[in-house]
C-alpha cells in the first residue's frame, strides 16, 4: 500500500492529473491490490496467467469500456513498478484492450474420451485415427511430436517413447499397459498396410493413406471428422486431447511438477493453467451438489 500511495502522489505531482482521474486510478489500483491480497499473490509474482484471470473477473462485472480504462490504468501503474524495480516486466503490456480475459482450455470429460475411443473401426485409416487419439491422450504429446515419432522410438519393455520436443529437447513419454498392447497391434497392421503400398521402408509411426508420414494438415482434418462423429459441441483439436490428459491427471491427484515434465513445459506457470481448469470444475460441482450453494 506504500507503493500505492507513492504512485498516486507521483501522478498528482508529476503527471498533474485532475482529482476525478486520480480517484478513478486509485479505485482501479485498489481493486487489483485487494484481489492480490485475497488470492495471496505477491505483486512481484503476479504472472500473465494471473493477469488474464483477473481481467476475466473484471469482464464479468463491468462494461467493455470500463475494463479498457482499468487495463490502461494498470498498464501505467506497472510501467511505474518496472522503473522502481518492483517487477521485472509490465505484464499488462501483453494484454490487449480487446482481450476478453482468461479462457479456460477446452478439454473432454472422461466419458467423452471413452466415446471417442469407442468409435467403430473398419479399415486401416480408422485404426490409425484411433491409435493417434489413444496415444496423445495417454502420453500428453503435442500433435507435432506425435507425427515425428518413428516406430523405432518405442521402448515397449519400459512402456515409453523417446520424442523430440520444442527446442530440440528430448524427453520420454509413458503409456499404460493396455495402450502398449494396442500400439503393438497397430504396428503389425501398419507393417502389412505399408507392404501393400510398396512402402515397407517407411519408419513413421503415423502414416497417411498413401503410406507416407501423416502430414500436420491431415491430422486436423481427422479431428474435425471425429468431432462430428462424436457429436462434440465444443472445440476438439489435438490440443484438446493434450489438455484432457493434463486435466484428468491433476483431477486424480498428480503433482503439478510431474505434469509439467510430462507436457514438456519449461515454466511451471504454463502448466498452472490446468489448476484453474480443475478449480473451475470443483466450483461447478460444488454449485450443483451443495444444498446451500444457491442460497
Note if 166 is an active site residue.
yes
Residue 188 C-alpha cell reads as 503389425
Catalytic residue among 12, 56, 239, 276: 239
> What is the distance between the alpha carbons of residues 273 and 105, in angstroms, rounded to a whole number?
8
Judge residue 247's burial from the number of C-beta atoms within 10 Å of its C-beta, 0-12 exposed, 13-18 middle, 19 or more buried.
buried
Note if 265 is an active site residue.
yes
Residue 25 C-alpha cell reads as 486510478
> What is the distance between the alpha carbons of residues 198 and 64, in angstroms, rounded to a whole number?
60
In sequence order, what are the beta bridge partners of 172? 162
Catalytic residue among 142, 190, 243, 248: 142
> What is the distance between the alpha carbons of residues 76 and 81, in angstroms, rounded to a whole number?
9
Torsion of CA 20, 26, 31, 37, to 10 degrees: -170
> What is the distance between the alpha carbons of residues 210 and 73, in angstroms, rounded to a whole number?
57
Nearest to 174 by CA among 245, 70, 240, 114: 245
Residue with cell 503435442: 142
Beta carbons within 8 Å of 180's beta carbon, 6+ residues apart: 156, 159
In sequence order, what are the beta bridge partners of 160? 155, 174
Note if 239 is an active site residue.
yes
Catalytic residue among 52, 128, 242, 243: 242
Catalytic residue among 166, 169, 203, 279: 166
Q: How far is CA 139 from CA 176, 243, 248, in A?
A: 9, 11, 12
> What is the distance between the alpha carbons of residues 175 and 184, in angstroms, rounded to a whole number?
12
C-alpha angle 113-115-118 in degrees, rounded to nearest 5: 110
Q: Which residues participate in catalysis according to the annotation? A: 142, 166, 239, 242, 265, 274
Amino acid at each position: 500500500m506504500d507503493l500505492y500511495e507513492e504512485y498516486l502522489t507521483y501522478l498528482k505531482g508529476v503527471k498533474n492529473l485532475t482529482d476525478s482521474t486520480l480517484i478513478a486510478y486509485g479505485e482501479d489500483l485498489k481493486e487489483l491490490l485487494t484481489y492480490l491480497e485475497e488470492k495471496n499473490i505477491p505483486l512481484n509474482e503476479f504472472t500473465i496467467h494471473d493477469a488474464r484471470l483477473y481481467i476475466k473477473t473484471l469482464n464479468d462485472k463491468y462494461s467493455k469500456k470500463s475494463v479498457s480504462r482499468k487495463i490502461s490504468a494498470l498498464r501505467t501503474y506497472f510501467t511505474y513498478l518496472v522503473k522502481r524495480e518492483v517487477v521485472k516486466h509490465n505484464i499488462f503490456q501483453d494484454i490487449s484492450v480487446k482481450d476478453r480475459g482468461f479462457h479456460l482450455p477446452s478439454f473432454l470429460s472422461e466419458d467423452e474420451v471413452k466415446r471417442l475411443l469407442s468409435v467403430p473401426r473398419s479399415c486401416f485409416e480408422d485404426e490409425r485415427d484411433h491409435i493417434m487419439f489413444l496415444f496423445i491422450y495417454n502420453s500428453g504429446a503435442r500433435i507435432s511430436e506425435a507425427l515425428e515419432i518413428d516406430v523405432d522410438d518405442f521402448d515397449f519393455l519400459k512402456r515409453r517413447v523417446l520424442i523430440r520436443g520444442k527446442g530440440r529437447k528430448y524427453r520420454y513419454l509413458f503409456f499404460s499397459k493396455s495402450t502398449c498392447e494396442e500400439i503393438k497391434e497397430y504396428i503389425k497392421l501398419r507393417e502389412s498396410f505399408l507392404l501393400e503400398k510398396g512402402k515397407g521402408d517407411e519408419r513413421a509411426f503415423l502414416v497417411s493413406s498413401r503410406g507416407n508420414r501423416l502430414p500436420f494438415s491431415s491430422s486436423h482434418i481427422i479431428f474435425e471428422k471425429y468431432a462430428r462423429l462424436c457429436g462434440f459441441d465444443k472445440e476438439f483439436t489435438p490440443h484438446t486431447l493434450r489438455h484432457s490428459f493434463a486435466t484428468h491427471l491433476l483431477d486424480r491427484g498428480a503433482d503439478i511438477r510431474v505434469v509439467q515434465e510430462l507436457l514438456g513445459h519449461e515454466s511451471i506457470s504454463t502448466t498452472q493453467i490446468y489448476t484453474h481448469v480443475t478449480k473451475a470444475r470443483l466450483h461447478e460441482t460444488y454449485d450443483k451438489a451443495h444444498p446451500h450453494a444457491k442460497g
